Amino acid sequence: MSLADKINNNVKKMKSNEIVEFNLKIADIPGLISLTYGEPDFATPRHIKDAAIKAIEDDESHYTDPRGIKPLRVNAVKFLKDKYGLDYDPDTQITTTVGLAEGIHDVFTTILNPGDEVIIPTPTYPLYAANVKFNQATPVFIDTSDNNFILTPERLEQAFKEHPNAKAIIINYPNNPVGNTYTKKELVALANVIRQHEIFLISDEIYSELTYDEPHTSFGKLLPDQTIVMNGASKTFAMTGWRIGIVCGPADIISKINAVHTLINTNATDNAQFAASEAFKNGENDGLEMKKTYVKRRKLLRDGLDKAGFTSPEPSGGFYIFAKIPAQFEQDSYKFGYQLAKEALVGIMPGAIFGPGGDGYVRFSYAASTEDLTEVVNRIQKFVDEHK
């Protein structure tokens, strides 16, 4: 027996982040245009970068309060209140994590015991199920692909009947990978079901500023006593690499989430926190300007895909298109993804990565330049024509 055989049994069963793994496998293909990652191609706004530079020059390079520096917590809470009507105490109801990936891990590690069940509507971000399994709990998937990728109250109620002891439900909206979101009416209907059950509602709202049809409504407003809201700076302010996530909710729960956080990271990077504080304080319109460009890119890419035979629901949020693979191609989304990368030099994400209901689809990110998207449309049309 080698030492590797003696490692944590949960880690033995773990897979690496499948999004990262697939991207690495195709990244070195010469000439590839990659629409794989959900990463804004915009530069971080100037006023945010200046705040970071000032923090560095002021020697802000030390340990901070694990919850995050006070200005960041105050400004983030005010941003959430001004935008979505949320009411959190900056001292007791928010903590700052090293990106929302850490936040997801902290939340599930805090609330789950071995054998617990977590309801997860799919397709959705794969790190949820991975973290549930890591904590020796069981994901309960609800495949929404037969209802235009929308979870209905009826389907949710059925899941509660079949799994009466479920500990939590996680809902991600605007959704990654589909790019859809929920109207206020739809959210109220879901909230009316959830409030009848003693269950954690984890609401991942990282794309909250990227909604196209109506303003974002937060579950934290509808069910404040049950909801853990996850958000951050990455998508709204084009700050993915700065790694600033925020987790908000009832004080007694946040205190325990923060305790888990301190076991993983003493604190998020000091100067990055000052940058995020500036973003939440004075960047209330930063995401809106980016959104105008995303709307144009969405039309460009979706029109091109539709012409080439890829059908998809129109995205109402985020910056993804979740497209059905045309019938003449291999419906295994991994195989198709490799084929598209090698032959058309276009990188996408296989839908199977995102759980039940995802296979047969592929995810395109239109958080890319107009020039790249135009070339992608041309390459895909040529690829389809060659395979007719």
The amino acid occupying position 229 is V
Q: How are beta strands 349-350 and 361-365 bridged, if at all?
A: antiparallel
How many other β-carbons are positioned within 10 Å of the β-carbon of residue 306? 13
Whole-angstrom distance, CA of residue 213 vs CA of residue 46: 28
Cis bond before residue 356 (omega within 30° of 0)? no
Question: Which of 124, 224, 219, 217 has its CA nearest to residue 172?
Answer: 124
Token output for 18: 């499948």
The reply to whether the predicted model has a pTM over 0.85 is yes
Residue-level pLDDT, tens digit, the chain, 388 residues:
788 888 988 888 888 889 999 999 999 999 999 999 989 999 999 999 999 999 999 999 999 999 999 999 999 999 999 999 999 999 999 999 999 999 999 999 999 999 999 999 999 999 999 999 999 999 999 999 999 999 999 999 999 999 999 999 999 999 999 999 999 999 999 999 999 999 999 999 999 999 999 999 999 999 999 999 999 999 999 999 999 999 999 999 999 999 999 999 999 999 999 999 999 999 999 988 899 999 999 999 999 999 999 999 999 999 999 999 999 999 999 999 999 999 999 999 999 999 999 999 999 999 999 999 999 999 999 999 999 8
How many other β-carbons are positioned within 10 Å of the β-carbon of residue 316? 20
DSSP result, 160-218: HHH-TT--EEEEESS-TTT-----HHHHHHHHHHHTTS--EEEEE-TTTT-BSSS----
Q: Which residue has the tokens 């269950």?
A: 199
